[in-house]
Amino acid sequence: MKKFKNIAIIAHVDHGKTSIVDKLLTSSGTMNLVDQSDLIMDSNDQERERGITIYAKNTSITRKDTIINIVDTPWHADFGSEVERVLGMVDSVLLVVDAYEWPMPQTKFVLKKSLEKWLKPLVVINKIDKPTARADWVIDQLFDLFIQLWASDEQTDFPVIYTSARDWYALLDESTLEQAQAEPTMEPLLQFIMDNVPDAPQDAEKPFRMQVVNLTYDNYVWRIWIGRIAEWTVQTKSPVIVHKADGSTYQGKITKLYRTLGTSRIEVEQWLCGDIVMVAWMSDIYIGDTIAHEWAIPYEPIHIDPPTLSMDFLVNDSPFAWREGKYVTSRNIVERLQKELETNVWLAVEVKEWWNRCTVSGRGELHLSVLIETMRREWFELQVSAPKVLMQEHDGVKVEPVEEVFVTVDDEFSGSVIQMLSDKKWLMQNMFSENGLTTLQFHVPTRWMLGMRSQFILLTKWEGILYSSFSHYAPYMGDIPKRNNGSMISMADGEAMKFSIWKLQERGRLFVPPQTKLYEWMIVWEAAKPWDLTINLTKNKHLSNVRTGKADENMLITPIVPLSLEEALGYIGPDEYVEITPSSIRMRKIHLKEWERKIAAK
């Protein structure tokens, strides 16, 4: 009987997690590097562009009589529910840490989930080829982190291997680095997994049982459900009972069985217990349901974290509406959101058709912005409101989500950053400096985080790093500090002129470059004052036959970086929208007409 080893790979962003999976696939002969691009597992366009893993994926490697199933986990706390679920399918975790950087916040978040499930981590110190590599120091920091997270004695006695995923080599001892560089191979890492990951439990005596842990979507077979078979085996056309979370059951039949090999989905006739598998062509199954023989005991339902943030999705009604998108009506938007609900279990959608709007709730800014960007690339056109944090009530007390935030800046910026964040009432927990960098740790209500990233980036001249993850719920902490700057708003329709921008650029932060099409009450600038100002960017230089000494003066414009989707969502206030089309991101006031603004003011 085949053996299975199930392992999840976790790491902070840019520590090499996905690259290591790629090298394992190619080094084992599962994938041919000539036929595949880098970052095989990050197949989604946004994952490649952002450099992060958004969706959990599983793959497998065949080695002798053993199949190694590898689950690539999302890195961000917005997808924490998915991380927690997929960890229930594995028996160990591969913890990848940069050989220079200390264990970062997202590492801590996912590692804590792993330790709570009593999984023993295997540590991979990646990027050992860096001139600044300090593996011993990183291992010491990891040990301290394990103790801080209440790891058991067995978990703190973690095995370590050193790798350079970029240069294709792995080694068990730093003293053999030169030899590994001369004869690069990832074979030690494969053997490291074989030696340290326990075999998946295989109980072929008990009746078939598996729990649906994750899901994906295929245009041909609709939903595909993913889980691990804990007991017995199952074949196609086998009759099964589906146990729902509410206690109800119904009979079904398994018609399609799949497993993965590399990045391919292979149809099989039989599953073996211990394997991570996929089932299709069964309706009315959701995360946490148990598929089993009639006499099997169902699993406990899986808890799905509730949404923490919401925003309104509306039909675009700006003067430029319906020019760039293909899917623009409320029916198009509602149907797309309902389709998203089939696979996005953290999402909640409340349809308000009489207002041509939907209230969409999710796990955080990244979660919702990924959905919006996906719709945008599918040629949808819409507008969205400013994000709003969802409060909860615990034992009659109003509570709100609090995030743990780590800020890393050059020492020269630390004073100004501390001043800015203190003014915003951020609660500092820790601070330390090393090698010219200062790291600050805060506890911050999610409400106070909205719109802060863009201000932080500007203050640190794009050199600061800010990471955050959900920490806990705390009693409501009072009114949110308001945005200090108002908006500059176009007072006329037309085209942004270079001359007007040159004349006004010192008055604030500009969002639109020259020749941008404008409409009345469109946001074009961040004002230096706390109130809104109307300006005219459509005015061009007056031409005449009279020449002066400054007639040929160069109009030098500070480089303009248009706001990204996340920055725009963080910038807008409660009386503003972000207009989103396949080719444009614009900010505007909700009320574009004078009579609308007068009614709203009343």
Q: Is residue 372 part of a domain?
A: no
Residue that is written with structure tokens 């939903």 in the block: 223
| pLDDT < 70: residue spans in the chain | 1, 13-14, 28-56, 74-82, 84, 102-106, 218-222, 262-263, 281-283, 353-355, 451, 454, 458, 462, 481-483, 543-554
Smallest CA-to-CA distance from 358 within 310, 309, 314 is with 314
With both helix axes pointing from N to C terminus, report the angle between 411-423 and 452-459 in degrees, rounded to the nearest 10: 150
Last residue of a domain, one of 232, 267, 292: 292
Residues 471 and 492 placed together within one structural domain of the fold: no
Cβ partners under 8 Å of residue 128, min gap 6: 99, 135, 162, 163, 164, 171, 174, 177
Q: What is the pLDDT of residue 358?
A: 92
Closest CA to 523 of 514, 539, 510: 510
Residues 595 and 514 in one domain: yes
Give domain status of residue 322, yes or no.
no
Residue in 7, 15, 3 with CA at minimum distance from that of residue 121: 7
Residue 121 sits in a domain whose CATH number is: 3.40.50.300
Structural domain for 27, as ranges: 3-196
Do 503 and 408 sit in the same domain of this protein? Answer: no
* pLDDT of the residue at 145: 87
Task: Kindly report whether the global pTM for this prediction surpasses the value 0.75.
Answer: yes
Residues 8 and 152 in one domain: yes
In a domain, 563, yes or no: yes
Q: Are residues 238 and 107 in the same domain?
A: no
Show which of 292, 311, 335 is a domain's final residue: 292
Are 66 and 94 in contact by the 8 Å Cβ rule? The answer is no
404: how many CB neighbours lie within 10 A of its CB?
19
**Within-domain flag for 367:** no
- 184 and 238 in a single domain? The answer is no
Helix H or strand E encompassing 80? helix 80-87
Around Cβ 245, how many Cβ atoms within 10 Å? Answer: 16
Residue type, 394: H
Q: Residue 80's pLDDT is what? A: 55
What pLDDT does 105 receive?
Answer: 61
Q: Are residues 51 and 160 in the same domain?
A: yes
Residue 241 shares a structural domain with residue 268: yes
Q: What is the CATH number of the domain that holds 261?
A: 2.40.30.10
Shared domain check, 106 and 7: yes
- Pair 262, 213: CB distance under 8 Å: no
Do 466 and 502 share a domain, yes or no? no
**What does pLDDT average to over the chain?**
82
